[in-house]
Amino acid sequence: MDALFSQLFAGLSLGSVLLLAALGLALTFGQMGVINMAHGEFIMAGAYTAFVLQAFIPDAGVSLLVALPVGFVVGGLLGLLLEVTLISRMYRRPLDTLLVTFGVALVLQQLARDVFGAPNVDVRAPAWLSGAVPFLGMNLPKTRLFILGLAIACVVVLSLVLKLTSLGRRIRATVQNRDLAETSGVSTRATDRLTFFVGSGIAGIAGVALTLLGSIGPTLGTNYIVDAFLVVVVGGIGQLKGAVIAAFSLGLLQATFEYSTTASLAKVLLFVVIVAFLQVRPQGLVSVRTRSLA
Amino acid sequence: MTTHTLPLRTTRKRALALSAAALAAALTLSACGGARTAEGTAGTASASGGASCVDTSGDSIKIGFLNSLSGTMAISEQTVRDSLDLAAEEINAAGGVLGKQLQIVAEDGASEPTVFAEKAEKLISSDCVAAVFGGWTSSSRKAMLPVFESKNSLLFYPVQYEGLEASPNIFYTGATTNQQIIPGMDYLAEQGKKKVFLVGSDYVFPRTANKIINAYAEANDIEIVGEEYAPLGHTDFATIVNKLKSSGADAVFNTLNGDSNVAFFKEYKNVGMTADTVPVVSVSIAEEEVGGIGVDNVVGQLTAWNYYQTVESPENETFVAAFKEKYGENRPTSDPMEAAYTSLYLWKGMVEKAGSFDVAAIQEAADGVSFDAPEGTVTVNGDNHHIAKTAYIGEIGPDGLIYSIWESDGPIEPDPFLEGYDWAEGLS
């Protein structure tokens, strides 16, 4: 029973990590249709932001909290730069975008290697996040609770922004019908840039959060990029809701498979399930239903 | 500027195509590390046969350094290259080998076994080097082995590995299993540990090591309460640590590689386990890795190696001081670096004993050649080309260095096929 609840929590926690890594992608890939292979490197940039800030702010707790917004801005600015210089020139050329952003990913990795050195670096976890919270006989690691909370907060804020603000309305309008949005006076160009900024910024936040769990090195992003795309594809293009459901389902499935078999086999089983699922529902869990205008 | 005129009906179809393309690309990306086919080694048996082209007439002699300076292994192999350079510099300053200055031909193995094989071939056949020093992963060594055997040249391999190999053309200056894995288990048994949990990365070294540990445990009344493998690059250890926690283990033997160690130890600490109650013995964490994992996460944990920066000997003091002077105060020295440094001196000893750079003469002279290495005195075993070395169990200190808390009674004779252990029968 204990093990069951522990695994349930492990699955939710894994889901929240997947969600954080994929949320930004759900915006840039899901909403805008840009295949950004450098998304993982924005995560990496966020992680290194936490590392750099720690050198300036001795208190690990304060520096983590400062790193979250700073990581957002760093990731966002990198994304904005990429959008303005490269991606904006190749909308409607998805395969070119894929190759170009893959190249950018390699450049960013090498840049990190040159600036910070090839070995991994360490970000100290604050004292108030060490240890675990006893709950129903289980011990829930505080770092994982923190990440779960952070992921939920990001989703809530993002969906509120999309729903209530004028920026959100412009984003949704552009996604649903770019031409009509433009004729209605929405600057789709500016909207694209902002969307990309926000999406990449969330990757930065994810990077900061991941410093609590794993290694911080130049290839941090490549560890998560596949899973992030999986979440968005399974969740369905164009809806945040899909990404949320997909992230937690995949997390729970992975944890269950891993507990009953082995880590390697669990990955295989997960892919089998995803392939089978996409056979039945190629559009993903949740798809946008709009009336076609053309 | 670009205009965006995607009619809506095609948007969804496009989106699906997009997702398929993205997924395919992402998967390829993750797979391309290991998916290259093994070309290049087979076709390399050249017409030159075994005839050596090594030029010994001048006042210098060429040797080859072959390490990965790019790709995933560059992190580790660069440090080996650094200590090889240091050894060569020292030997040259002291008058060279048989009066000849060493001339280094340096190559990059690029973390690809096939590149290692190609570059080894080039070093032997076109650069005509007297010996090659390098390699790290077992796959790189296995790829180079046929090249060195068919060309009848010499490779000095400086990293601990899974044993079960002995080539007349390779000298193994890192530990084999009975000099690292078995002493690690001896230590746990001595501490009265009865329930050991095995965790490792999913590839050849951990699986071989764990096979040996299972046989050892059976013969020594230790229960293996779990055996888990994580794919290389695995980032989430919640489940594995859950299994570890509920297994009731009183010790962990860790053969994880690289980044996975960070995630594993953070998780281990998160669920409240400590080195006092469930110590982890690691065989892939050396001084350089400790910083990246975070000292806080591994302080008090154990490692099994044959050298630490803190080993107390005059030879080690000199080595550490020389290394820090050349490469900077903050650079630690570690086991593979020391083994590489030692390998160059052992080759020098063999050449001087043989009085020649000839491969056959060196193979003949190798047995019994010894060197007062930073780790202690090491001696070459002429039969299996490994070296006798002392095993140290170390504890990671709060300063990030590793301190020996247990050592074997003198150097352990290498036994790559574990022939001297009754319980290991049938393993090889």
- Chain A: nearest CA to B54, how far in angstroms? 36
Question: Which residue type sits at B359?
Answer: V
Chains A & B: contacts with CB separation below 8 Å: 199
Q: Which of B9, B246, B266 sits opposite A213 (nearest CB)?
A: B266
Which residue segments constitute the domains of chain B, with CATH numbers given?
178-310+391-424 (3.40.50.2300)
Q: How high is the pLDDT of residue B49?
A: 45
Choices 3.30.2170, 2.30.230, 1.10.3680, 1.10.3470: CATH for A2-280: 1.10.3470
pTM for the full predicted model: 0.81
C-alpha to C-alpha distance for A154 and A203, rounded to whole angstroms: 11
Distance from CA of A178 to the nearest CA of B (A): 7
Q: Does A286 touch chain B (CB under 8 A)?
A: no
Which whole number is the average pLDDT over B9-21? 52
| Predicted local confidence at residue B19, as pLDDT | 58
- pLDDT band at residue B17 under the 50/70/90 scheme: low
- The pLDDT of A86-96, averaged and rounded, is 85
Percent of chain B with pLDDT over 70: 88
Cα gap A40→A46, rounded to integer Å: 10
Residue B89 pLDDT exceeds 90: yes
Q: What is the pLDDT of residues A36-76, one digit of tens each?
A: 999 999 999 999 999 999 999 888 889 999 999 999 999 99
How many residues in chain A? 294
Residues of A in contact with B20 (CB under 8 A): 233
What's the pLDDT score for residue B231? 87
B41 pLDDT exceeds 50?
A: no
pLDDT for the residue numbered B192? 93
Has residue A176 got a pLDDT over 90?
A: no
> Whole-number mean pLDDT of chain B?
87
| Structure confidence by residue, pLDDT tens digits, B119-157 | 999 999 999 999 999 999 888 999 999 999 999 999 999
- Answer yes or no: do A283 and B289 touch at CB < 8 A: no
Q: Does A94 touch chain B (CB under 8 A)?
A: yes
Residue in A closest to B287 by C-alpha: A119
Provide the residue ranges of all domains of chain A, joining segments of one domain with +.
2-280
Write out pLDDT tens, residues B219-259.
Answer: 999 999 999 999 877 888 989 999 999 899 999 999 998 77
Chain B CA closest to residue A116: B292
B72 contacts on A by Cβ (under 8 Å): 219
Residue type, B372: D
pLDDT one-digit tens code per residue, B375-404: 999 999 999 999 999 999 999 999 999 999
Find the helix or strand (DSSP H, E) in which B357 lies. none
Confidence bin at B34 (pLDDT 50/70/90): very low
Query: Does B262 sit within 8 Å of A182, measured CB to CB?
Result: no
Q: What is the identity of the amino acid at B352?
A: E
pLDDT of residue B16: 54
How many residues are given for chain B? 428
Q: Which residues of B280-313 are buried (b: 16+ CB within 10 A; e: fewer)?
A: bbbbbbbbbbbebbbbebbbebbbbbbbbbbbee
Tokens 């400590």, located at residue: B274
What is the b/e burial string over B375-414, where b = at least 16 CB atoms within 10 angstroms of the residue's CB?
Answer: bbebbbbeebbbbbbbbbbbbbeeebebebebbbeebbeb
Q: Give the Cα separation of B198 and B252 in Å (integer).
A: 6
pLDDT tens digits for B97-113? Answer: 999 999 999 999 988 89
Has residue B47 got a pLDDT over 50? no
Mean residue pLDDT of chain A comes to 88
Residue A100: is it exposed, middle or buried by C-beta count within 10 angstroms (0-12/13-18/19+)?
buried
pLDDT of residue B252: 96
Is residue B22 scored above 80 in pLDDT?
Answer: no
B155 SS3 class:
strand
Q: Do B11 and A255 touch (CB under 8 A)?
A: no
Instruction: Name, in order, each residue with C-beta under 8 angstroms of B46's C-beta and a sequence gap of 6 or more.
Output: B121, B125, B151
